[in-house]
Every structure is written in structure tokens, then in C-alpha cells.
Structure 1
């Protein structure tokens, strides 16, 4: 018995640095449960055993005397709780009890909590020919835990090591019908976060860079902007936009000059921009920079930042201090908070909620996954991401699931979608008789829809596609008596039509399917919100 204790002390699960990290990290007293109905608990108390009601069932995590938790040391138990809190922030709380249990099981089965040991555990689960559903669940909860700890810098510095997502591309994903496409797609950035970034950059561009015809108007607007804009926030917006759309590494941002932002074409209808992306690593075979197109709104914001800072084409686009890993990740976090709905900002300000952390590395790999999902070749992926070889790009292609899984995602048939109220991306629900502002109207599925809601956007011109984009817009005020079911039906008709065209033309990845499905899901969320309000 004494020898066993000595062995345990000589080979602890946590290093002294990791133990200090766990002890210094503050566990909140309660956490907000997103998507909770009036019959569920809105908050989860984190003292003792976690007990709460969610999605029509009573749930509990027996941290005090539970089978899988009572043998864990206090630091390991707290680490399980910290990861479980992150799981609640990013996912539905309906399975957090499973997440905590399987993470505890994994911690009890490894010799040390390192990237290498957790990756080894994932490989051993995949290699087991007799694995069952429980093993597969453990795989994906361990995968989530590994990603969370890595982006919170829990592990030792990995500057000289391969990026975690590149290592994960080498780990096969076990298939199981109960998990459907969610395990196989392996997208590292939720679609709601992507939509929030796209909408936020579009709104900033429409406010800060409006269409002005005369030189006098442009000069006057520039003077007005100088007095009201915070250059640090504009810098954060530029960093987030470039990382999101192009997938640049922080080291590439540091190598980007103002002259690398190119206006390809310019006319009264808009501009076309591109950015010259430097290679992240040296190679004897790559000399020229990579030319990648960027959206018009991002290009305008970059040019505005350049003019306000008084930068020339030879100057570095961003200050050196803002292009290392931590400053870039901090800029992304600040920008995601600015882009978030008011409910989220209020919860963060009151310390009732903490935004999930998404790093530049995750956005880079999201670009690679997205390209592979849309049928891009390894050569194309390597070109866009600025990779000097095809090794990593080929892994993205190899990790792409079967076309049946892609179709299932595009059609959005899985009922889990219906219960995902992750971000309330629209404004307050109002009755049509109480609304005095502008009303929304559009044509969807060859039918005119005009009793949808109102628009509170302060500018006269909408920067989005009116009606279609409203259900995912912060300025949209859905009518509680609106004809939202009819809008949903029209989106279903359009999806069916596009699907038939894709089948007839043998188009594997039709670009409209994903966008139409996202619009459809936003309508479903609004309908769910109205139903909850009516029930209350």
C-alpha cells in the first residue's frame, strides 16, 4: 500500500504548473443554461452535486460520492468541472452528465493529462475492434476535452510542436449511427458563431464605409469617423475578419504589409478586393505570395483602418505587438463579444456567462474543413492556407465524410436542430399592432411574404438580403402574430427545388443548400421563441 502511494506521488496526473493552473482558475458558482424553456432550470448551481432539470428530465452529476468521481483527487475533479462548464457554454446541457462521466473515466485511464496521452487514448479507442457505443461517446467527449484544454493553454508550450488540429486530422473518427453527422463533420467553429461574425463585419462596413459619391462627402465622413471610432476596436475587427475569411496564422499577419491589400476592380456598384497571403513557413519552392479574394465589406474596413492610421503601402498592416498568438486570440475574443446579442453582453458584464474561446488556429482549420466539405482539392486547400506542402491539406480531404452525411447536414433533417436555441440572434418579439417602424417584406419560394416583422436598423439601406437574412439579424423584430410558418414552408420548397437541381446535374455540394438551411434554422428558432413566450 505504501509503495502504491509512493508511485502515485512520483507520477502524478498533473505537473506542478498544471496543478497551479487548476487551483488559480475560478469555478463560477452558477452557469446559465442556454435553450432552457419555462419548464427547465434557467441556472445550474455548481456547488456539491450538480442537479438540474433540462429538456423534460431531471439530471444530476454526483461529483461528491459518484462512482466515477469519488476516487479522483480534488484538482482532477475540479478540472472535470471546468471542462463540463465549457461544454455547457458551447452545447446543449442535456448530455453534460455524460460528458463529465466520460471525461472522468478518461482521466482515470491515462498516466498523465497531456496532449500526447489524450491523443493516444483517442487512437486506442479507434483501434479497439470490440468498441461499443459507450466507447464512441468517450471518444468524442475526450476529443472535446482535449480541444478545450489546448486552447486554454493548459498544456505545456506547444510552439515547437505540431498544431493540435493537424494532429487530430491523423486520428480516425469512429462512426456510429446514433451520433449522425455531428461526429463526422468535425467542424471546429459552430455555424452560429460563423454567422455572427459575417453579420457583424457586414454591419460595421455598412456603418463605417457607406457609399459616397463626391470627394467632399468622403472627406467629411472621414473626419466624422476619426472622432467616433476606436482604432483598437477597428484593429480587432480587421484581425478577426482576416483570420475568419482567410485562415491566416498570427505569424502571417505579422508579415502582411498594407500594400498586400489589393483593389482588383472598382466601380459604382462595389469593389473587389484580394489579399496577398505570405507563407507561414519557408520553402525553397514558394517565392510569390498567395492571392486570395476577400469580401468587399472586409476590404473596405481594412482600407479605412489604413487611412485612419496614416499607413503607407510599405508599412506593416498591424502593429507587431498585435500579431503574436495571444494578442490575436484576445482580439478575436473581444470582437466576438462586440458582435454578440445584447443578452449575451449583459450576462458577460454581470459575470453570469463567459464567452467560449475560439483561437486563430481553430478558424484556420475551419477554413480547411469547409473547403474540403465543398469538394476542394488538396492543392487548392494548401494554396489558400499558404501551406508549402500538401501533407496537411490531404488530411483535410481524407477526413471528409461520405456525401450522404453532407446531404443530411444540408437538408437539416436531424430533430436536434429544432431544439438548438444557442444564440438569440434576433431582437425582441413584438405584436404587429405595436410596431411603428419599417416592416420587412420579401419573396421566398416564389411567394410574397410581408407579415414577418419590423426592422430597427438605424441606416436607411439594409446591408443584407431583406427577409432572407432577417431571421438571423439583431435588428429584426419578429411579429408574435407573424406568418412565420408560411416563411418556413417557402424555405422548405426552395431547399427541395435546389436539391432536385443538384441531383439532376450530379452536383455533390450545391453552395445554396447550406445557406438556405441556415436561413431555415433561423426561422425555426424564431418560431420556437414565440411558442415559449405564448406558453408563458
Structure 2
């Protein structure tokens, strides 16, 4: 009893519920470092002090006797470890030592761990007159911790039920030249997760709904699909796709009927689909449904799901449950695992890695943030999200940094952007003389590129853009003697042309800039990996 009283008195930061939450949360013995290279430690072992090698450096977090940790009670140290683990699972481990230090400084400056106190700390960091780079880092590390603790229901007994992301829209961000470095931290959904979902939906649509011309072919394919498709997994895929592309709340998904799915056009050249989204909150001035276009790939999957599940126009699109939040969020979690690379699935199965949790609410805010970043008006954002007023939509726009910063990142001038070239590696490297499978080629920058690598995708038809999308594809096997620098030059040529068009037309947010930059980054990653492999063989 005496030890319990001393513990509670020595940790005024936490409530009784929070102390129990920290105590009941078990840390694993190790965690898989998903972005580790051949020269890094593949696992981080959770001893009292964390020590590992990553990105060519020996990393250390001295939890036991470090300057910023030695005066903190053990419960606070464990909470920092829990949040740091979540950070590693979602980001590169290269700065987790600075991340843990930043959290220690934040917890040392607040009287109790509540949403209000952490928000106040963020405001104080922004308002600091002589703010430096370390303060900016502490801001974004604290922001990540606040979001993570809120998602883990850490503040359940001490804070109100206001949506945290709406409160964060009113929080000014630090102004500094390195804003692009922190963009993914400030994005609700990391760009890598968005890419996994987009590629996953496209891959499933290509496999399950191929382009067939005759009625006989379509009937035969549907008969074949009925015997092999898992309807529950297909429903999860449809649910995740609608949440990701439309930003629908679970309660809106629960109100959707089969008749809300609309086939706008369908011919030999392609199809167009839209979905009628009900308002989650009604007002006297709103209409019953809003019509939002969805990608063709998602539309074909929804159509297949409705046929296999025998859903009519008056039937509910998804099964009716007592609550809509948990089934939707569970579907997203299961689908992210299925869409993830095999090494991530293996690490999850072996309990070496815990897949980050992203809820439907976070995807909704991601849609609003992304639209604001691309120059959408408040009316457009409110319409797509099904909002009956422009209040929240205006906050998304107000929270968007200067377009000059976005353009700077799109041009790829940021040195950190250029150095982050090994975070997302593609398939196994192979010499062209040893590859016997299908080879890829494609036109980029007005030039035909070949001798790039092989493809081990199980279908003959590429669901993506062959050649152009290969370097970022999980099925691509880059040739170590491939002509990857020629592809990089062509992407640079295309970027130059798009920038010239954007400048001549005064288009601040050209839609191709971001996509071309991402494709260019994938090529740089492959080139870097080949150089690393050659250097290792030379040694």
C-alpha cells in the first residue's frame, strides 16, 4: 500500500485510469525496423536503454540516466517508450532518439497529461519568440504524441469528446524553411499508407474485374469469381475504398443503400461511377444526398460486391450493426494488412511489428486536408465531406501552409527529400542475365525505356502504368545493370515541362507535379539500392 501511494504521489502527471493504462500496456521484447537497410540492425531490442544501428549511425536513448530522462518517474518513461514504439511503426527509426528526447522535454513542462495541456504546449512552442530548429522538432513530435494518445483513448476520463483534428485545425504551425521535412508528420494519414491503399484497390480491380467484351465472357468470369472470392474480404475492400476516396463517416456508410451507387457511363472505352453520400448531420438547408465521383477501379469492385451479395437498390450496402464505427474501422485495419508488403505481413504474424491503426475519422480529415493542399475551395471541401456549413472547411484551408513551401517540396530541392531514398525499397535485385520471366518497358518523357527489370505479377496485364510505375511496385525486380538513370532523366524532363506549363498558366498546384515527383523518387530509391548492393559486393 505504501508503494502504491508513493507511486501515485510521484506521478501527478496522470490520473488513476491513465496509470492503470500505462501499467497494463505491455511492450514487446523487440520491434521490426521496416526501413532498415542491409547494414542496419533489423530489430530494436527493448532493454532499459535502447541502442541500435540505423542509417549508418549508432543510435542511443539513455532512458535510465540520460539528461532529459533521469528526473522523470518510471511511469512517464514507460509512456515515452510506448509512444516511441508507435512512432517507429509508422515512420523511419532514424530520429526516434530525438523524438523520445522531445517528448521528455514536453512532459517535464506540463502539470498533467491532458489534451488541453498538450495543445497549450504546442501553442507555446509556436509563440516562442526565439524559436529554433529544436523547438520546431519538439512541436511536431508533441503533435504526433497528442494524436497517438488520443487515438489510443488515453484521455477518455479527463477530456471532452470534441474531435481532436478539428481542434488542431486552429493550431498554427511553426514557420521554418524545413516545413517539408515534417509534412508527413502533420498529414493525418502518411503518404505511404495512401499509396498502399491506392495500389491495392487498383490491383484487386484488375484481378477481379478485368475488361471483358462479350456477354458470355462476363457470365463465365462471374461464375468463376463466385467460387474463389471471399465476400467478407471484398466487403472490407469496398468499405476501405469508400472511406479513403470519399471521406465518409461510418454513420454515413450505414445509411447507404444499393441505389446510392450510380453507374454514370459504361462503354467499351471505360466506365464512370459515383456514389450518393448522405449527410451525417442534417440542417434545414441541406439536401438528402450529395453526389461524389469515385475512381473506376473502386466502382467496378462495388458493382461486383453488390452482384455477389445480391444487394438491390433498396437494400443496405453494408450489413447493419448495432454500431457502425467498429465494423468500419476493423475493415480498414484488416485491409491495410492485406495490402501491405509480404515482409510486413510476416513481421505482424511473428509479432515483431504492430500495424498502425487508422480510423475512418482520420481518413475523413485526410480528404479535407488533401483537398485544401490542392487548392480546393471551402464550398468544394464541404460538399465532398457532406458538411452542412463551411466552418470546418475554412479551417482546413487556414491550416494549409504557403503554396511556395509546397512548390519547394514538389521541386525536390529539399536535401532531406533527396536523402530519404531508402525508406521504401522495391523487390529483390537481379542481374538481367539471370532473369527468365516477363520484362517491363514503357514510354516516359517521349522516349521508350526498356532493360529496366522483370515483373513477377501473377496476371499478364499490368494493373498500373508499365514502365512508369514499376520502380515503386512490389512486383518489380530491378536489373542491377538496368538503364535506370535514363528513366530518371526522362522524369526530370517531364517535371521541367510541367513546371513550365504551371508557370505560364499561373497554376500554383498543378496536379501532375506531386505524382511525377513521387515516381521520380521511386527511381532514385532503386538506383540507391543498386549502388549500396554493389558497394557491399565490392567490400
TM-score (norm 1): 0.94
Residues in 2 aligned to 1:288 and 1:319: alpha-carbon distance in whole angstroms: 21
Query: Is 500-509 or 412-421 further displaced after alignment?
Result: 412-421
Residues in 2 aligned to 1:514 and 1:474: alpha-carbon distance in whole angstroms: 20
Counterpart residue number, 2:44 = 44
Which structure 2 residues correspond to residues 272-287 of structure 1 after superposition, within 5 A? 272-287=272-287
**Contact map agreement 1:411 1:517 (CA 8 A) in 2:** yes
Residues in 2 aligned to 1:421 and 1:181: alpha-carbon distance in whole angstroms: 16
Residues in 2 aligned to 1:323 and 1:498: alpha-carbon distance in whole angstroms: 47
**Contact map agreement 1:278 1:289 (CA 8 A) in 2:** yes
Counterpart residue number, 1:509 = 509
| 1:104 and 2:104 matched | yes
| 1:152 and 2:116 matched | no
Distance 1:508 1:213, change over 3 A: same
**Contact map agreement 1:35 1:420 (CA 8 A) in 2:** no
Residues in 2 aligned to 1:33 and 1:184: alpha-carbon distance in whole angstroms: 18
Secondary structure, aligned partner of 1:465: coil
Counterpart residue number, 1:423 = 424
Which structure 2 residues correspond to residues 399-438 of structure 1 after superposition, within 5 A? 399-417=399-417, 418-424=419-425, 426-438=426-438
Secondary structure, aligned partner of 1:321: coil
**Which runs of no fewer than 5 residues in structure 2 stay unpaired?**
none
Counterpart residue number, 2:169 = 169
Counterpart residue number, 1:206 = 206
Counterpart residue number, 2:237 = 237
Secondary structure, aligned partner of 1:51: strand
Shift of 1:165: 1.0
Which structure 2 residues correspond to residues 431-470 of structure 1 after superposition, within 5 A? 431-470=431-470
Residues in 1 aligned to 2:184 and 2:452: alpha-carbon distance in whole angstroms: 36
Distance 1:317 1:82, change over 3 A: same
Counterpart residue number, 1:79 = 79
Q: Deviations over 1:197-226 (max 9, x none)?
A: 111101101111112223332222222212
Shift of 1:185: 8.7
Shift of 1:358: 1.7
Residues in 1 aligned to 2:312 and 2:386: alpha-carbon distance in whole angstroms: 25
Residues in 2 aligned to 1:290 and 1:439: alpha-carbon distance in whole angstroms: 45
Distance 1:184 1:29, change over 3 A: closer
**Contact map agreement 1:249 1:361 (CA 8 A) in 2:** yes
Shift of 1:129: 2.7
**Contact map agreement 2:421 2:528 (CA 8 A) in 1:** no
Shift of 1:330: 1.8
Residues in 2 aligned to 1:60 and 1:310: alpha-carbon distance in whole angstroms: 57
Query: Is 70-79 or 34-43 further displaced after alignment?
Result: 34-43
Shift of 1:435: 1.4
Counterpart residue number, 2:69 = 69
Residues in 1 aligned to 2:33 and 2:524: alpha-carbon distance in whole angstroms: 20
**Contact map agreement 2:184 2:191 (CA 8 A) in 1:** no
Query: Is 376-385 or 52-61 further displaced after alignment?
Result: 52-61
**Contact map agreement 1:34 1:421 (CA 8 A) in 2:** no
Shift of 1:8: 6.6
Secondary structure, aligned partner of 1:174: coil
Counterpart residue number, 1:219 = 219
Residues in 2 aligned to 1:320 and 1:420: alpha-carbon distance in whole angstroms: 45
Residues in 1 aligned to 2:7 and 2:120: alpha-carbon distance in whole angstroms: 22
Distance 1:158 1:490, change over 3 A: farther
Secondary structure, aligned partner of 2:379: helix
Shift of 1:141: 0.7
| 1:498 and 2:531 matched | no
Counterpart residue number, 1:301 = 301
Counterpart residue number, 2:526 = 526
Residues in 2 aligned to 1:151 and 1:185: alpha-carbon distance in whole angstroms: 15
**Which runs of no fewer than 5 residues in structure 1 stay unpaired?**
none
Shift of 1:74: 2.2
Secondary structure, aligned partner of 1:330: helix
**Contact map agreement 2:11 2:73 (CA 8 A) in 1:** no
Counterpart residue number, 1:259 = 259
Counterpart residue number, 2:337 = 337
Shift of 1:279: 1.0
Residues in 2 aligned to 1:316 and 1:506: alpha-carbon distance in whole angstroms: 46
Secondary structure, aligned partner of 1:320: coil
Shift of 1:180: 4.2
CA RMSD of aligned residues (A): 2.2
Q: Deviations over 1:154-182 (max 9, x none)?
A: 22179972211111000000112244453
Query: Is 432-441 or 235-244 further displaced after alignment?
Result: 432-441
Shift of 1:136: 2.1
Which structure 2 residues correspond to residues 326-365 of structure 1 after superposition, within 5 A? 326-365=326-365
Query: Is 478-487 or 104-113 further displaced after alignment?
Result: 104-113
Q: Deviations over 1:83-114 (max 9, x none)?
A: 11111222222211111011112122222222
Residues in 2 aligned to 1:57 and 1:160: alpha-carbon distance in whole angstroms: 43
Distance 1:154 1:367, change over 3 A: same
Q: Deviations over 1:375-425 (max 9, x none)?
A: 11011100011111101100111111112111112122223233243333x
Secondary structure, aligned partner of 2:344: helix
Residues in 2 aligned to 1:293 and 1:404: alpha-carbon distance in whole angstroms: 30
Distance 1:178 1:299, change over 3 A: closer
Residues in 2 aligned to 1:159 and 1:277: alpha-carbon distance in whole angstroms: 31
Q: Deviations over 1:235-262 (max 9, x none)?
A: 1101110111011111111111111110
Counterpart residue number, 2:56 = 56
Residues in 1 aligned to 2:423 and 2:234: alpha-carbon distance in whole angstroms: 27
Secondary structure, aligned partner of 2:59: strand
**Contact map agreement 2:115 2:159 (CA 8 A) in 1:** no
Residues in 1 aligned to 2:205 and 2:62: alpha-carbon distance in whole angstroms: 49
**Contact map agreement 1:265 1:272 (CA 8 A) in 2:** yes
Question: How many residues of Structure 1 are paired with residues of Structure 2 in the alignment?
Answer: 532
